[in-house]
Structure 1
Amino acid sequence: MIGRCARLALCGITFALAVAPTLTMAERPPYREAREPCADYRPTRQALFGDLHVHSRLSFDSYVSSQRNGPEDAYRYAKGEAITLPDADGEQTVIAQLQRPIDFTAVTDHSELLGPIRLCSAEDSGFVRWHPACVATRSDLFPLQLLAMDYWASVGVTGDSAGETESMVCSLGDCDAAHKQAWQQIQDAAEAHYDRSANCEFTTFVGYEYTDAPNYANLHRNVIFRNANVTDTAISTYDTGSRNVPELWRRLADECTDTDSGCDVMAIPHNPNLAAGLMFPDPANEQEAKDRLFFEPLIELVQHKAASECRFDRLLGRGVDTEDELCDFEQAPSDNLAMLGTIFGEMRASEGEPVSVDDFARRNMVRNVLKDGLALRETSGINPFMQGFIGSTDTHSASPGGAEEDNYTGHLGRRDSGYRNLQDHFYDNPGGLAVVWAEENSRDSVFDAMRRREAYATSGTRPSVRFFAGTDLAGDLCAAPDMLEQAYASGVPMGGELAAGDATPRFLVSAAKDPGVPGNPGQDLQRLQVIKGWLDADGNTQERVFDIAGDADNGAWVDEDSCAPTGAGAAQLCSVWEDSDYTANQRAFYYVRVLENPSCRWSTRQCQAAGINPFSSSCLTQAEAMNAKLNDEGAIGNVYDRCCLAAEHESFYSPVIQERAWTSPIWINP
């Protein structure tokens, strides 16, 4: 039992859990669930790669897109098995398989509409299956699917009245019973695929997505439970009302953490870049601040609908409260969920039109949220925005971990399969991965790592990244054979908090490149950066980016005909760094950004596979020829035109990207 008193103590200003390692490093803690001990147990922790944002056919926007894989299939895919996905015509012909499995995942189907979608899709639902919305939902006709998508979104997740009614489907069938059946299916699949043996090869978490989106402003959270002890239902916007995330926290406390059932849970916000400024308001009171700290220790920093670290417009030469030019990485043009409204190559929703950096809300970007948290701590005594980072995919194709640029099958079922990806979802990307430093691959160990924020996000690759801070860290720590033991004994890891003093802290940053797979090695590292945010003497928030290792001008690029990497970087980088501008009475945070050498974006690879080279002076001619061919085969519109976008004319897009990782911050407080 967590209990309200213990929960509030955990969220207190001392943050004892984050300040010091939770282990003595001498003995493993007891499990809070029944299972065999893991044979592979490492006191200095290991990097485990996962995906905590996954949709199956139980989600309305997956099923309507001809996607028929359920939670069980999603877990099979995560473990390295092949699944079949729909092609652009809705036929189940696409074979999808990871090049290497991931270590943990959670299926997070939308809690909203779990019941109606089961009623519409299940053969034993009776007369309700013939409601027009259900008929359109099961249809193979693309126009009918789009109508069904719009219907479910309007009654389910995007209107201000979402908390009032689900749909007329529920008047013809028992939506509550169907909801519980789907919720049980999610739990059963997680249990069936969780490795409770000593091998500890794969960990699952029971979860769902809370999907509030008033007027397309994204307020979504992925709700992740520690173990099999969960709430009776998947709490939804219907239960809390729209624009009321604090009520979600209260319900999770009442029905989970404040009970004696052994239930523990967190809620992970994602896509603040599409929240129209609504994701991270100032807390209304102290209780809200403490609840956010407890229930939301992490933010999903990157996924297939763009990255949310920061935003910089190359054409304008300025950003959203930043001058960091690397903040042009994987940015969506719009600031809300209507950015998904492109059909046959044309934006069909006025809300989905591009938003300039001058009109883009500051707190859509996580770095600004972190900076504002420092100011709130100064005035209120509590920083409600002490949140670590993970990445995930947000796949709606039951393909957790499918973040490989050279193996990307889309994440929206039929809607972005095949050529539709380039035509309608060009500004999307394969998404990222969640990485935790955990002693072993068990639910308890992974969940504890997330709770203490010893986690980081990647844009889809798998570099190994360590980050520590402490005043007693040795300057030659990179060369020490017991580097990790010393770092844990003398400092705090990523996600932790360090009390400021007169002594200048040192920061240990160590990264190793993604090893890749046989025949497809990972990309070399280019450089390590430390991003600092602080509160100056006048109470204003500031930021600065430091290059601390590697070389930005190492000459690496790509072969523009084959996308093969050219030039070399580093297999490993390590530095013990000090901030020459450190001030003892200054509130600050630091996090690490790891940049890989340049590589081809997924779209570049798929354009080239279709015979269109974004680097070629003949690109438009090639695109016109392929457009005509596809139009003859039934496609509508100019499918391949975006392959020929020129990066120098685009605010954010480039055919070449730099994959990256972002560690959770370490906070320095007077």
Structure 2
Amino acid sequence: MLFGDLHFHTEISFDAGLIGTSLNVHDAFRVARGEKIRSNTGQPVQLIRSLDFLAVTEHAEMIGLATAIRRSDPRLLLDDWGGRIHALFNGSQQDRMAAFGEIIEIGTVQGIDPTAGLGLDGDLWVDLVETIDSDNEPGVFTSLAGFEWTFTPKGDMSNGLMFPETKFDGSPLTAEYAAKRIRWEPIHEMTQIKGDEETHPLLSPDDEFADFERWDVANLSGPAAKTPEMLQYEYARSALKLGLKIGREIGVNPDKFGMYGTTDSHTALPTTREDNCFGKYQHTEPSPDSHGMDVIPAEDPALRIITAQESASGLTAVWARENTRREVFGALTRKEAYATTGSRLRVRVPCAIPTAPTSTGSRS
């Protein structure tokens, strides 16, 4: 078994880079391979056990914005919106938070790229892939290039939209649609910083672990509580049951997925153990004051998420014959993978041993 992380951000992602992450892609791979480096807040950090593979998945939205602000890119400064945002990020803490909130509102909730046409991405993707390739060492360590594209209509995140019984526009599912879905979404991220997405206490009242490190809050459009009718369409166990139901009705199961775990770290530090957790954002790295800091602020205490609620999770385990891109990616596509909350649990599957047929004799 090989263990690694498939959802991970460095200073290139707009949210990570704009809230203080300064470590780059190469730094991330150094840590993943077991080297000791300095964290974003200047602390020594090293994994207790190195990873076997790591995928860097920067946000596709507004890629290049954080880099442009940090470098005072002329293309950004000459744009009215870009110049104003740059000034805010170089102002007070209050100004920076206001700018970050505006970017989230425009880019994520409204789904508009305010940097479109500025060419800030340039050769960034090519450079990123080349850097990732340089850290790939077949047989020893696998580096993977990816990206995160976030579909959040009106900032709703999931809110019952992840595993629907209809298409997004409300029309009925078809066998063709279901087949495309399971082809392009063969595995599901079941655990990460926000806790487990396996099940919910209301869905599994007899499961004592159903409430494990769960953020039951929608946050991109503003903190809001989940409602019970959403839940069966958000969690993996109920989705697997819904998929069987849909499969009987239309002939194709759209939710016959495998599962994997990640950190969703925004620090370029792939730490996954509770005894070596470095937080998932620059401002939640270890410090005397970080325990009760806001991750998601809210006036209602029931909707507020603090540092102590950040899960150290998680990891993806894959069954592979060797540590290469071909084997790791192949295992994922075949769903020969599983999620853990950071512990390197090894699944053992007993194989049936064929036996010679026994003679039953004959009757005369």
TM-score bracket, normalised by the shorter chain, equals 0.7 to 0.9
Give the alignment partner of residue 166 of structure 1, picking from 113, 117, 121: 113
Shift of 1:170: 4.6
2:128 paired residue number: 186
Deviates more, 1:126-135 or 1:403-412: 126-135
1:278 equivalent in alignment to 2:164: no
The structure whose residues are more often strand, as a share, is 1
Of structures 1 and 2, the larger Rg is shown by: 1
The count of residues paired between Structure 1 and Structure 2 equals 333
Identical-pair percentage? 29
- Secondary structure of the 1:361 match is helix
| Structure 1 residue ranges without an equivalent (≥5) | 1-46, 87-91, 219-274, 313-318, 339-348, 475-485, 490-670
Tell me, what secondary structure is at the counterpart of 2:206? Answer: coil
Residue 47 of structure 2 aligns to a residue whose secondary structure is coil
**Contact 1:302/1:457, CA 8 A, preserved across alignment:** yes
CA distance in 2, matches of 1:354, 1:127: 37
Correspondence for 1:309: 198
Contact 1:58–1:109 (CA<8 Å) still a contact in 2? yes
* Equivalence map 1:22-61=2 (5 Å): 47-61=1-15
Deviations 1:526-553 (A, max 9, x none): xxxxxxxxxxxxxxxxxxxxxxxxxxxx
Match of 1:100 in 2: 49
Measured against aligned partners, the alpha-carbon deviations of 1:175-207 in whole angstroms (never above 9, x if no partner) come to: 3xx3242212220121010004xxx11101110
| 2:43 match: secondary structure | strand
For residue 415 of structure 1, report the CA deviation from its aligned partner: 4.9
Shift of 1:135: 3.1
Q: Please say if residues 246 and 252 of structure 2, whose CA atoms lie closer than 8 Å, have aligned partners that are also in contact.
A: yes
- Of residues 173, 176, 183 in structure 2, which corresponds to 1:287? 176
**Whole-angstrom distance in 1 between the partners of 2:176 and 2:58:** 29
- Aligned with 1:384 (options 254, 276, 297): 254
Please point out which of 434, 449, 463 is paired with 2:316.
434
Partner of 2:360: none
Instruction: Check conservation: 2:89, 2:99, Cα contact below 8 A.
Output: yes
TM-score by length of 2: 0.84
Distance 1:210 1:61, change over 3 A: same
Q: CA deviation at 1:417?
A: 5.0
1:151 aligns with 2:89: no
**C-alpha offsets along residues 593-614 of structure 1, whole Å, 9 cap, x if unaligned?**
xxxxxxxxxxxxxxxxxxxxxx
Aligned-partner SS, 1:117: helix
Judge conservation of contact 2:174–2:250 (CA < 8 Å) in 1. no
**2 CA distance for matches of 1:52 and 1:104?**
8
* Amino acid corresponding to residue 342 of structure 2 in structure 1: G
Deviation at 1:322, TM superposition (A): 4.7
- The equivalent of 1:212 in structure 2 is 151
Structure 1 residue 109 and structure 2 residue 63: aligned? Answer: no
Contact map agreement 1:408 1:430 (CA 8 A) in 2: yes
SS of alignment partner, residue 260 of structure 2: strand
Deviation at 1:134, TM superposition (A): 2.1
| Residue type at the aligned position of 2:317 | V
Distance (Å, rounded) in 2 between the aligned partners of 1:324 and 1:111: 37
Q: Does 2:276 align with 1:337?
A: no
How far apart in 2 are the matches of 1:384 and 1:105? 28
Partner of 2:211: 328
Q: Which secondary structure state, in structure 2, belongs to the residue aligned with residue 113 of structure 1?
A: coil
TM-score, structure 1 normalization: 0.47
Q: SS of the counterpart of 2:105?
A: helix
- Would you say the 8 A contact 2:68–2:76 is kept in 1? no
1:131 aligned onto 2:78: no
Cα separation, 2, equivalents of 1:468 and 1:117: 49
Answering whether residue 317 of structure 2 is matched by residue 446 of structure 1, we say no
Once the two structures are superposed, the pairs formed by residues 561-600 of structure 1 within 5 Å of their partners are none
CA contact (8 A) 1:63 1:137 kept: no
How far did 1:361 drift? 2.4
- Deviations 1:229-280 (Å, cap 9, x if unpaired)? xxxxxxxxxxxxxxxxxxxxxxxxxxxxxxxxxxxxxxxxxxxxxx100112
CA RMSD of aligned residues (A): 2.3
Shift, 1:93, TM fit: 2.0
Three-state SS of the structure 2 residue aligned to 1:465 is: coil
Structure 1 residue ranges, 4+ long, deviating more than 4 angstroms after superposition:
none
Question: For each residue in 1:277-332, what CA deviation from the matched residue of structure 2 results, as whole angstroms up to 9, or x when unmatched?
Answer: 011223532222111111111111100011100011xxxxxx22553222111111
Q: 5+ residue gaps in structure 2?
A: 168-172, 295-305, 356-364
